[in-house]
C-alpha cells in the first residue's frame, strides 16, 4: 500500500466515521478505490469560474399557473 493509498483510506475512514456510517474494512477499501474519481468529478463541477456560484438545480414554482409564467427559474 502506497502513501497515497493510505491517505485516501484514512480520508474515507474519517468521512464514514464523521457521518456515523458503519463500514467494514472491505467497504472502506472499495470506497477508497473509488474516492479519487469521485473527488475529481466534484472538483470538475466547480472548476469553470462562470458556474461556480450558480444554482445547479431547476426549481419548481407552484405559483406558476399558466403558460405565460415561467415555472423554472426566477420570477419574470
Q: How far is it, in rounded angstroms, from Cα 29 to Cα 5?
A: 9
| Domains of the chain: total | 1
Query: Running DSSP on this structure, what letter comes out for residue 49?
Result: G
Query: What per-residue confidence (pLDDT) applies to 35?
Result: 94
Query: What per-residue confidence (pLDDT) applies to 45?
Result: 80
Q: In the structure, what pLDDT confidence band is assigned to residue 12 with cuts at 50, 70 and 90? A: very high
Q: Express each pLDDT in 14-66 by its tens digit.
A: 999 999 999 999 999 999 999 999 999 988 887 888 776 777 676 666 666 66
User: Residue 72, SS3?
Assistant: strand
The pTM is what? 0.57
| DSSP H or E run through 42 | helix 25-45
- Domain carrying residue 63: 1-76
Backbone angles phi, psi at 45, to 5 degrees: -60, -30
Amino acid at each position: 500500500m502506497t502513501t497515497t493509498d493510505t491517505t485516501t483510506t484514512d480520508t474515507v475512514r474519517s468521512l464514514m466515521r464523521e457521518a456515523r456510517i458503519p463500514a467494514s474494512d472491505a467497504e472502506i477499501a472499495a470506497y477508497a478505490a473509488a474516492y479519487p474519481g469521485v473527488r475529481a468529478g466534484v472538483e470538475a463541477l466547480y472548476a469553470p469560474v462562470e458556474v461556480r456560484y450558480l444554482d445547479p438545480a431547476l426549481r419548481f414554482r407552484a405559483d406558476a399557473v399558466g403558460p405565460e409564467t415561467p415555472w423554472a427559474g426566477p420570477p419574470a
